């Protein structure tokens, strides 16, 4: 019994010695919390050092105003994609597909899949955004759509913190695709596409004619059967 008591006493002594060496210095050190008032930079000032007078944010040299602002040197909206996005063929198709993807993430909830302003948000009671098929939006330059995404317009807030510059141009390009899907004119098509359209139209007419002829044949056969049936009676 005495040995057990002695053993417990020794364990307690060992624990006290060990725990005495544990200090909270690194937990309770002298320091300022973020934005805490302090006197290090001056009496009554924030603990964080203030910016030097005249400091402005710097995002790099953005000299390409067409690309970063969607405007030309006269502060007019540009009517075509900026020079650095003047793509062709497969590269341009990739840009459009990227625009469709980003549109379906950020825009479809309000503007709808076809850009008619009938997304889920307006369906739940919020005001409808204008349709991209409105004549006013059919007439605006492509730089206008980029500017609205960048700076916001009306009830729509800015998306520049959410959508990159290139993605904004991709979305603007896809908006043009949506508009052209409803209002494209033959003069915008190449000869190959026009020929395909003509052939598809002829095929549709031929298919319709064959369908009508087949229907007439079935109708005539049905009438003959009815006449034979009446003769038998």
Structure-block tokens of residue 183: 């209002």
- pLDDT tens figures, 68-125: 999 999 999 999 999 999 899 999 999 999 999 999 999 999 999 999 999 999 999 9
Q: What is the mean pLDDT of the segment spanning 19-44?
A: 68
Q: Is the pLDDT of residue 233 over 50?
A: no
Bigger pLDDT: 107 or 61?
107
Q: Which fold has domain 87-183?
A: Cytochrome Bc1 Complex; Chain D, domain 2 (1.10.760)
Name the band, by pLDDT with cuts 50, 70 and 90, for residue 229: very low
Bigger pLDDT: 128 or 206?
128
Structure-block tokens of residue 181: 């899907």
User: Hey, CA dihedral for 83, 88, 91, 92, is it positive or negative?
Assistant: positive
Residue ranges per structural domain of the chain: 87-183
Q: Is the pLDDT of residue 127 over 80?
A: yes
Under 8 Å between Cβ of 78 and 141: yes
- What pLDDT sits at residue 205? 38
- pLDDT tens figures, 130-162: 999 999 999 999 999 999 999 999 999 999 999
Structure-block tokens of residue 188: 């915008």
Of all residues in the chain, the percent with pLDDT exceeding 90 is 48
Q: What are all long-range contacts of 111-117, with beta carbons under 8 Å and residues at least 24 apart? A: 114/178, 114/181, 114/182, 115/175, 115/178, 115/179
Bigger pLDDT: 195 or 232?
195
Highest mean pLDDT pick, 5-14, 47-56, 170-179, 216-225: 170-179
């Amino acid at each position: 019994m005495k040995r057990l008591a002695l053993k417990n006493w020794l364990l307690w002594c060992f624990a006290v010695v060990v725990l005495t060496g544990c200090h909270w210095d690194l937990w309770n050190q002298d320091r300022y919390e973020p934005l805490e008032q302090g006197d290090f930079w001056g009496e009554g000032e924030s603990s964080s050092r203030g910016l030097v007078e005249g400091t402005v944010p710097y995002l790099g040299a953005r000299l390409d105003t067409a690309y970063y602002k969607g405007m030309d040197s006269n502060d007019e909206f540009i009517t075509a994609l900026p020079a650095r996005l003047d793509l062709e063929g497969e590269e341009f198709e990739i840009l459009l597909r990227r625009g469709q993807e980003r549109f379906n993430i950020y825009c479809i909830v309000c503007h709808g899949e076809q850009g008619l302003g009938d997304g889920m948000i307006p369906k739940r009671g919020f005001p409808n955004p204008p349709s991209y098929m409105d004549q006013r939006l059919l007439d605006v330059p492509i730089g206008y759509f980029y500017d609205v995404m960048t700076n916001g317009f009306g009830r729509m807030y800015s998306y520049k913190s959410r959508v990159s510059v290139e993605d904004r141009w991709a979305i603007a390009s896809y908006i043009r695709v949506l508009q052209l899907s409803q209002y494209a004119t033959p003069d915008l098509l190449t000869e190959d596409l026009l020929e395909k359209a003509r052939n598809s139209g002829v095929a549709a007419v031929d298919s319709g004619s064959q369908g009508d002829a087949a229907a007439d044949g079935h109708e005539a056969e049905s009438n003959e059967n009815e006449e034979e049936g009446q003769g038998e009676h």
